[in-house]
């Protein structure tokens, strides 16, 4: 395939995938490709896949079908975690021209310079992947996802990420700061630090995540930083203290729990127990009483008895947290969890997920209600819905205001009046004041 023409991108999964898609898109742009939507008859379509859920195959096939409906002659490249794990399976999907693995995806231009037979596969052994390719998402000027780390050394019994992305690795603090500056040069007001296991930053360079946080705060002219998901055992008291004292790092943490039962955590091969988790939450609340604290939970893991699930519910109810991300356990090939005894019936898994998602809605409402009557600085986004422009407070409260009353990509003080059942709050322009 001759470089040039139009290219579309379809990203599935996490913030890290969006960051990497943007990096590849910039490379293609420099080679002469004009970026268009997947429904705009693109010459090239890049599908960046995820492997976390059981719908990976269906979502990939749907994206291929959508691309071919737009342009039956499109050159289709499939990359990402699912591509690394099951390349042959993807190559057999009608319409897929090339499948690229964890390291090969960043050499997409080289692979498509000459169109080869449909179903070409370029996927190397994951254990040989050592390089780290920095990047940041660039579709939204308001908020960018900065890739600070890749891979994971933890090998939890339910997770395929180490098999799809390899060992933990990162660029140096200095290089990461330089990449963050590029993002702010392009207009980003808020930078979200993302990766597979970001608390492990520095393992490959002899530095630490705290070193990175301090350097970004001191050397990058972004107005806001957020820390995405970070393991509780890697969220040190020093990191919490820095966020509390910083004017740039927002009072918002997302900390995976997965289960509130210690025997289940042990079976998951998690590197902490509930006592440490509670300690971290209490440490945050001691210095940031109004912070947003999000929690990941998995329901229906093998051996999660009714008693263990009840223990998780009770643990969550006893923690001062703000919302949940609830995932229904699904068996993943090449992980150890499916070999465990006492599989939980799928319908029971789904029922437990529904229960926790209902609990999450109540937690989020309580979190939002704490800010009614206060003024908060809100960073508003470019997109609008039903005449409203949305944005977030430092504490991750979603605010909707008349789109004509506020400018996009600007931080505007809002007096919060009402919390809506649709999952946002509203108010009027005001002067900021403490909660």
Task: Quote the CA–CA distance of 66 and 116 in Å, as a whole number.
Answer: 22
Task: Quote the CA–CA distance of 38 and 8 in Å, as a whole number.
Answer: 5
Q: Which of 223, 290, 287 is nearest to 252 (CA)?
A: 290
Look up tokens 């799809």; give the residue.
164
Residue 55's pLDDT band (cuts 50, 70, 90): confident
In the three-class reduction of DSSP (H, G, I as helix; E, B as strand; rest coil), residue 101 is classed as coil
Number of structural domains in the chain: 3
Mean pLDDT computed over 391-409: 96
Residues 135 and 119 in one domain: no
Q: Cβ(400)–Cβ(362) under 8 Å?
A: no
Mean pLDDT computed over 186-200: 95
In a domain, 325, yes or no: no
Tell me the sheet residues that pair with 224.
Answer: 190
Task: Quote the CA–CA distance of 19 and 209 in Å, as a whole number.
Answer: 19
pTM, two decimals, is: 0.92
Residues 151 and 239 in one domain: yes
pLDDT tens profile 349-381 = 999 999 999 999 999 999 999 999 999 999 999
Residues 244 and 197 in one domain: yes
Contacts with 358 (C-beta within 8 Å, 6 or more apart), sequence order: none
Top-confidence range, 157-161, 349-353, 405-409: 349-353
The more confident residue out of 376 and 126 is 376
pLDDT surpassing 60 at residue 117: no
Residues 179 and 219 in one domain: yes
CATH of the domain at 153: 3.30.750.210
159: domain range?
130-250
In the three-class reduction of DSSP (H, G, I as helix; E, B as strand; rest coil), residue 19 is classed as helix
Look up tokens 């945050």; give the residue.
284
In a domain, 321, yes or no: no
């Amino acid at each position: 395939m001759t470089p040039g023409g139009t290219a579309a991108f379809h990203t599935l999964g996490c913030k890290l995938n969006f960051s990497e898609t943007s990096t590849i898109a910039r490379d293609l742009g420099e080679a002469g490709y004009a970026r268009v939507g997947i429904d705009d008859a693109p010459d090239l379509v890049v599908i960046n896949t995820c492997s976390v859920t059981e719908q990976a195959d269906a979502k990939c096939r749907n994206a291929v079908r959508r691309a071919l409906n737009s342009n039956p002659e499109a050159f289709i490249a499939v990359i990402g975690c699912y591509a690394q794990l099951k390349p042959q399976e993807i190559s057999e999907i009608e319409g897929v021209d090339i499948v690229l693995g964890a390291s090969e995806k960043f050499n997409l231009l080289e692979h498509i310079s000459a169109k080869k037979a449909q179903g070409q596969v370029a996927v190397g052994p994951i254990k040989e992947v050592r390089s780290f390719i920095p990047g940041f998402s660039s579709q939204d000027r308001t908020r960018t996802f900065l890739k600070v780390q890749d891979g994971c050394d933890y090998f939890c019994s339910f997770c395929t990420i180490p098999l799809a992305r390899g060992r933990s690795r990162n660029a140096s603090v200095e290089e990461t700061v330089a990449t963050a500056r590029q993002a702010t040069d392009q207009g980003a007001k808020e930078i979200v630090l993302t990766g597979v296991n970001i608390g492990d930053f520095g393992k490959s360079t002899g530095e630490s995540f705290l070193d990175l946080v301090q350097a970004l705060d001191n050397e990058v002219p972004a107005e806001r930083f957020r820390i995405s998901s970070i393991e509780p055992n890697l969220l040190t008291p020093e990191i919490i203290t820095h966020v509390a004292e910083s004017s740039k790092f927002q009072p918002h943490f997302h900390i995976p729990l997965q289960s509130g039962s210690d025997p289940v955590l042990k079976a998951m091969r998690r590197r902490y127990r509930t006592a440490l988790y509670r300690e971290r939450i209490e440490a945050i609340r001691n210095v940031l009483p109004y912070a947003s604290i999000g929690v990941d939970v998995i329901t229906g893991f093998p051996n999660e008895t009714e008693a263990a699930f009840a223990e998780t519910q009770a643990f969550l109810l006893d923690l001062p947290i703000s919302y949940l991300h609830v995932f229904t356990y699904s068996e993943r090939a090449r992980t150890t969890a499916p070999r465990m005894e006492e599989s939980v019936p799928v319908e029971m898994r789904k029922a437990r997920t529904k229960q926790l998602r209902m609990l999450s809605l109540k937690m989020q409402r309580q979190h939002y209600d704490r800010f009614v009557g206060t003024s908060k600085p809100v960073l508003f986004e470019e997109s609008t819905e039903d005449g409203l422009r949305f944005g977030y407070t430092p504490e991750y409260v979603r605010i909707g205001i008349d789109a004509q009353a506020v400018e996009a990509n600007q931080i505007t003080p809002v007096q919060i009046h009402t919390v809506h059942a649709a999952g946002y709050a509203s108010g009027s322009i005001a002067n900021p004041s403490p909660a």
